[in-house]
Copies of this chain bind each other. A is one copy, B any other.
């Protein structure tokens, strides 16, 4: 083996990292393989020594983006994920809106991923399920399983939709809208709410 042990694996990782950010920033179809390789400090031809296709890269880049995103959101809260509302508040932040390249790939790429190859769609479905289960685990035990499911689903939907919408709004309207989404969730997730 005339090369350092994990050299190729590291290069591959570098490509995945570049892709993970570039896709979230510019959209999958707007990032060409040459673009990508340039961002990773390489040239276009070498790509296919690492991946059989752009779709195969996507299947790896999506989970990477997802982990990156949750790591970055934890950093905003400076503590890893106390409760569901804390996670939602960090997610629905102006920083998240203005930095898609570090943020949630579902909010940045959801619809485009949905229309991608079957393997990519499967990866997306896995990641959504995982995120939903993560949120579920943050909800107090004393609630019924049904109610917990509803809160996790509703909160995640509100989070993703909130970012998608805020990114589409006039700059001046974004902060108030985000604050409204956070306030909505704060009340909806409040345990003192009346039950049925």
Contacts and interface: CB of A to CB of B under 8 A. Distances in A.
Interface residues of A, number: 55
A59 interface: no
A165 B154 contact: no
A160 B161 CA distance: 5
Main secondary structure of the interface of A (DSSP, over half): helix
Given A29-B29, A154-B185, A111 B108 contact: yes
- How many copies, total? 2
A89 to B, nearest CB: 13
* Top 8 A-B residue pairs of the complex, sorted by shortest distance between their CB atoms: A154-B184, A161-B161, A153-B180, A160-B161, A157-B161, A188-B188, A157-B162, A29-B29
Given A150-B187, A192-B194, A26 B115 contact: yes
Contacts of A162: 153, 157, 161
Contact of A194 (B27, B169, B194): B194
